[in-house]
Amino acid sequence: MKFPMKWAVSLHRQFAASILKFQQPNFTRLRLSRGLSSKAKPPVTMGAKKENSDDEMDEKVKKYLRGDAANLEGVKDKKLKGQLAVREDLYGKSAKTAAKIEKWLLPSEGGYLEAEGIEKTWRIKQESIAREVDILSSRNQYDIVLPELGPYTLDFTSNGRYMAAAGRKGHLAIVDMKTLNLIKEIQVRETVRDVAYLHNELFFAAAQKKYPYIYNREGTELHCLKEHGPVLRLQFLKNHFLLASINKFGQLRYQDVTMGEMIGNFRTGLGRTDVMQVNPFNGVVALGHSSGTVTMWKPTSSVPLVKMLCHPGPVSSLAFHPNGHLMATSGRENKIKIWDLRKFEVIQTLPCHAKTLNFSQKGLLAAGTGSFIQILADFSGSQNYSSYMTHSMAKGYQVGKVLFRPYEDILGIGHSMGWSSILIPGSGEPNFDSWVANPFETSKQRREKEVHSLLDKLPPETIMLDPTKVGTVRVPQKKEKPTKKDIEAEMEAAIETAKGTEFKKKTKGRNKPSKRATKRREMIDKAKRPFLEQQTQERETSRKKQKTNPETEMPKSLQRFVRQKAT
Amino acid sequence: MKVKVISRSTDEFTRERSQDLQRVFRNFDPSLRSQEKAVEYVRALNAAKLDKIFARPFIGAMDGHRDSIKCMAKNPNYLKAIFSGSDDGDIRLWDMASRRTVCQFPGHQGAVQGLTVSTDGSILVSCGSDCTVRLWNVSDANLADSDNLSDNSAKPQAVYVWKNAFRAVDHQWDGDLFATAGAQVDIWNHNRSQPVNTFDWGSDTTISIRFNPGEPNILATSANDRSITLYDLRMSSPARKVIMRTKTNSIAWNPMEPMNFTAANEDCNCYSYDARKLEEAKCVHKDHVSAVMDIDFSPTGREFVTGSYDRTVRIFQYNGGHSREIYHTKRMQRVFCVKYSCDASYVISGSDDTNLRLWKAKASEQLGVVLPRERKKHEYLEAVKNRYKHLPEVKRIVRHRHLPKPVYKAANLRRTMIEAERRKEQRRKAHSAPGSIVTEPVRKRRIIKEVE
C-alpha cells in the first residue's frame, strides 16, 4: 500500500511516530513498507498505536538516562539508600520530560530522500534534487571553480555558519555560508596544507610551508607557531582549546590556544603521516600511519593509548562517528572498514575506495575518491552501512576533502579545481541547541559564548578513552612491579631534587667552593644509594634463583650428579 | 521521488524587533554534547572556588552594652528585632537592619540571666540574679512609638520577686505560662505574682530550660548535676531524666521535628536526642574544642547554630556529625549566646566582648533581591558542586576553613588524644578474649543512666 512519506510526517504526530522509527526518517519506500508490516497494520487501532508509541518513548527515555540506573540492592546504609532512591526517581522524571520535549516541542524536522517505484536513491542526481527543493536550499548547491590555486581543503565552524577554504598555492578565504558572502580572502604566497577554525569564526589556523600561523577574521596574522614546524594536518579540540598538529617528521604537538602553552610534544616514531582526526566524543587524536596502524593519543602521555592494525597497507583516511563508538578507516586496498571502538573490532567491511572520509551528524558516511563521492547510510540504525547517494563531478576534479556542514543537509567538497557543495538530505541535525552551537548567533551571543566556554575549558587530563569515567570510583589495581624505566625515572627524579637543594651559605671562611662541591656530590650519592642497593639485591636474588633452579629440577636420586658451578 | 532538505527561514529563528528578547532553542539530545561529566566537574570546581571568593559572612557588630552579653531573645512577630541582656542588668532591643538600639529596658540590679518573648510578641520576660522576674510590654504599637524617640527606656509592666536567683526563663509556645529555672523549676502565669507550680527533682540548680514547640506542656531542663530532665506540666511531676558524664549548658528543640532536641554539652559536643528514647543519643555533633555554651535551631529544622567557649560560632546539620561552617573573629571573645534569625538567613551571636554580631547563615549567599536567572544559576552551581564534592580537588576547596591558631592546635591535640585512647582500646580488645571487651558507640558512651 502506498503510504506517502510527506503525509506521514505532516499527520498527527502520534500516528507518524508509531509508524516511523524515532529520529530516523525512512529513506526508501521499500524500507517503509517493511516497517509498516512489522509495526502497525493499517487501519490501525488506537491500542496498537499506543503500544508502539510507548516502545518508542521508552527508547527515547533510555537515551536521556545516559546509562543504567544504579543498583541500590547492595547499599546497606538506609539513609544513603533513601537519598539515592530519590535521586534515581528524579533522573527518571527528567528523562521522561526530555523525551516528551523531543517528541513534541522541537521546531524542525529532518530531511529525507525517498525513491519511488523502481528508482534507487543512489541513482538520483543532484540536479533532480535541486528541482524538487525550495530555492533557498537549491542555492546551496554550487561549484566554485578556482583552477590555478591548487587543491582546496575546507573547515566549517561548529555552528556551520562560516567556512574557511585554503588552496594549496596560498589562497585563504573565509566565507559566510548563510549569505554566501566572501568575508575575507588573502594570498599568503606559500604552500598551505591545512586550515582549521579555532573556537569561533574569529580565529583560524593555517598550516603553511614552514610553520602554522593563526589569523584573524580580517586576515591579520596573529601568531606564528614556530615550535610546531612544518605541519601537515591541524585539528582543534573544542572543549579543551587545544590545537593538535602533526608535522613532516611525525611529531604530534598539542598547544593550548588560550595561553599559548605547549602541552605535549610527542614523537610518534611511526614516520610521516597526514591522516589525523579528532574523536569528538572523547577528544583523543587518531593518526593513521603508512604501516596500516591507527594510533590514538592523549596530551598527557608520550605513548599512544591504542595502537591497532587496521589495513595491510597505508591508511588513507579516517573518520569518527559523532557518538564516538564508530570509526571508519580506509586503506589502499579499496576497502572501508567500520570499527566498533568499544571492542576494537571490525563491524563491517565495504568494498569502496576512499581517499577521504567523513561522518555527518546523523551518521551518514561520505567517501570521496577521484572525482566520485559515495554517501553510505545505515538505514535501520543497526550500523549496517549501504549505499545511499552518489555524486560524480566533472572528470578532471580530484576530490581532496569531504566535510559535512553541521546542522545542514549539505556536503562540502574540496577538490583540485576549487570547492563544491551538494545537498544530501537527511545528513544534518535539524534541531540545534543555542547553548551548544547557534547558526543564528549575534556578535553579543558569540562573545558571551566565548566567555562561558573559556570558563568551562577542560584541563587536558580529562581526555581519556572513556569520558564517562570522570567522577566514578577508581577500582584499586593490583600493584605491579615497577618496570626498569619507571625505576630509572624515579632515580632521575630523586637526583634532580638532590641537585636542586639549596645549601646554607656558610661564613667565616667555611664556604670554600671545593667543600660545597663535595657536599653536593654527597647529596647526589645519598639520593642514588637506595636505588643501587635495590639493584644489587635484585641481582643477588636473581642469581640465587638461577642457582637453585637446576637442583630442584632433577629428581633426588640424581642430584649428586648435578654439576656444581664454581662459585 | 520525495525529498526534503533542512531549510531554516531566518524569521523563525531570529527576533522580530530589537526590543524583543533573543530566541533560544533547546535540544537536550546527549549526542550534541561531548564530555558532559568533565564539563560538570570543571563547573563544580569553579563553583567551589567562587563560593570561597564570595564567602563574607560577617555583616556587622552591634555595639552598646557595657558588659558581657549573657542572653538573647527573638520576637517571633517582628523579624528585625532582637533582645539582648547583659551582665550589668541592661536589656536592649536592637534593630538588626540598622544595627542600633531601639529601646532600652533598665531595671535589673544584677546580671540578666534569661530573656524570652511570648508567642504573640506582646510580653518580654526577663529574669536575673537579683531574684526578680520582670515583664515588659513590647507589642508592635509600643515599639513603633518608641522608634520616634531614640534610646528610649521603658517601664516594666510587672516585677515579681521570689526566693532565689534565676538562671533561665522560657515561654510556652501556645499559652500564657512561662517557666524559670534556678534552684527549682517554677511555672508562672503572666498575671500571678507567684509561681503557679514548682518542680524539684534533685538538689542542684537548673541552668537552662526550654519548652517544646510542638507539645505546649512539655519542657526540657538541664541541671548542674549533669542531667537533662523532661517535665510534663499536666502531670505535675517530672517525667524522665538522663544523666550524662558532663553538664549540659543549653537545649534546643527541633521546630520541625518536635520530638527531637539537641543538647549543648560541656564536653565540646552536641548530642541530639529523641525525647521518647533517651537511653541513646541519635547523633553526636563533634567539632568544638571547648564547652558549647548555647544552641539554637533554624526555623527550617535542618541546621542549628552553636556558640562555644572557644570563641567560635559553628553551624551544624541536624543529622550530621561535623560542622558545615565556622565563624570567628579576632575581636569576638567567649560566645555565650547564639540565635538563628526567624527567616533562616542570619545568625546572631552575643559574646563576652559586649558585642552582638550579625552573620550570614550561608556565607556566600547573595543578600537582597535575587533575579530569577541569578537564582537558577546559584541553584545549578550548588547542585553541581554537591554532585562532585566527593572528588579530592573539589573536596579540598569546599572543606577548607581558616581556623584561628589556638582552635587549630586545640583540635589537633584533641584528635591525638582521642586517637591514642582508641588505639589503646583496640589493642586491649585485640589481646583479650573475643567478646570480653565491648565498645559502646559514642552515642551511648556519654550517658550514665536514664531515670524515670
Asked if residue B421 has pLDDT above 70, the reply is yes
Q: For residues A27 and A121, is the Cβ–Cβ distance under 8 A?
A: yes
Instruction: Please check whether residue B369 touches A, CB under 8 A.
Output: no
Closest-CA residue to B174 (of B102, B235, B252, B258): B258
Q: Quick one: cell of B439? A: 565498645
Closest-CA residue to B325 (of B289, B359, B375): B359
Nearest to B43 among A6, A428, A456 (CB): A456
pLDDT in tens, A468-514: 888 888 888 777 777 788 888 888 888 888 888 888 888 888 888 89
User: Per the CB < 8 Å rule, is A101 touching B26?
Assistant: yes
What number of helices (H) and strands (E) belong to chain A? 10, 29
Nearest to B4 among A111, A457, A467 (CB): A111
Q: Higher pLDDT residue, B300 or A39?
A: B300
User: Per the CB < 8 Å rule, is B34 touching A129?
Assistant: no
- A260 min Cα distance to partner chain B (Å): 20
Residues of A in contact with B387 (CB under 8 A): 471
Give the DSSP letter string of B16-57.
SSTTSPPP------GGGS--HHHHHHHHHHHHHHHHHHT---
Q: Best interface-test mutation with B: which of A78, A178, A440 has the largest number of B CBs within 10 A?
A: A440
Percent of all residues in chain B with a pLDDT value above 70, rounded to a whole number = 97
User: Per the CB < 8 Å rule, is A133 touching B6?
Assistant: no
Q: For residues B263 and B271, is the Cβ–Cβ distance under 8 A?
A: yes
Q: Give the DSSP H/E element, type plus range, for residue A419.
A: strand A418-423
Q: Give the DSSP H/E element, type plus range, for residue B305.
A: strand B303-308
Residues of B in contact with A5 (CB under 8 A): 2
Q: Best interface-test mutation with B: which of A137, A158, A375, A455 has the largest number of B CBs within 10 A?
A: A137
Q: Best interface-test mutation with A: which of B12, B27, B39 has the largest number of A CBs within 10 A?
A: B27
Using CA atoms, how far residue A114 sits from A28, A29, A337, A485, B71, in Å, is: 5, 6, 27, 60, 83
Average the pLDDT over each of A15-29, A52-66, B173-187 and give the range with the smallest value.
A15-29
- B260 min Cα distance to partner chain A (Å): 18
Mean pLDDT of A112-130: 90
Residues of A in contact with B392 (CB under 8 A): none
Q: For residues A112 and B4, is the Cβ–Cβ distance under 8 A?
A: yes
Place of cell 566533472: A394
Q: Give the DSSP H/E element, type plus range, for residue B372.
A: helix B372-387
Asked if residue A551 has pLDDT above 60, the reply is no
Chain-wide mean pLDDT for chain B?
91
Name residue A173's beta-bridge partners: A165, A185
User: Per the CB < 8 Å rule, is B26 touching A433?
Assistant: yes
Say whether the peptide bond before residue A43 is cis (omega within 30 degrees of 0).
Answer: yes
User: Per the CB < 8 Å rule, is B1 touching A124?
Assistant: yes
User: Per the CB < 8 Å rule, is B31 touching A470?
Assistant: no
Closest-CA residue to B290 (of B269, B315, B262): B269
Average the pLDDT over each of A115-124, A426-435, B375-384, B434-443 and give the range with the smallest value.
B434-443
Q: Please give the interface size between A and B, counted as residue pairs whose CB atoms are below 8 Å apart.
A: 148
User: Per the CB < 8 Å rule, is B6 touching A102?
Assistant: no
Distance (Å, whole) CA A417 – CA A397: 6
Residue of A nearest to B39 (CA): A456
Residues of B in contact with A467 (CB under 8 A): 34-35, 37-38
- A287 min Cα distance to partner chain B (Å): 21
Asked if residue A180 has pLDDT above 70, the reply is yes
Q: For residues B257 and B212, is the Cβ–Cβ distance under 8 A?
A: no
Place of cell 552515642: B443
Instruction: Please check whether residue A126 touches B, CB under 8 A.
Output: no
User: Per the CB < 8 Å rule, is A456 touching B39?
Assistant: yes
Band of residue B76 on the pLDDT scale cut at 50, 70, 90: confident
Q: What is the dihedral of CA A142, A148, A153, A157, to 10 degrees?
A: -60
Whole-complex ipTM: 0.81
- B38 min Cα distance to partner chain A (Å): 6
Mean pLDDT of A120-138: 90
Instruction: Please check whether residue B373 touches A, CB under 8 A.
Output: no
Residues of A in contact with B317 (CB under 8 A): none
Asked if residue A430 has pLDDT above 90, the reply is yes
Band of residue B69 on the pLDDT scale cut at 50, 70, 90: very high
Closest-CA residue to A142 (of A159, A124, A130): A130
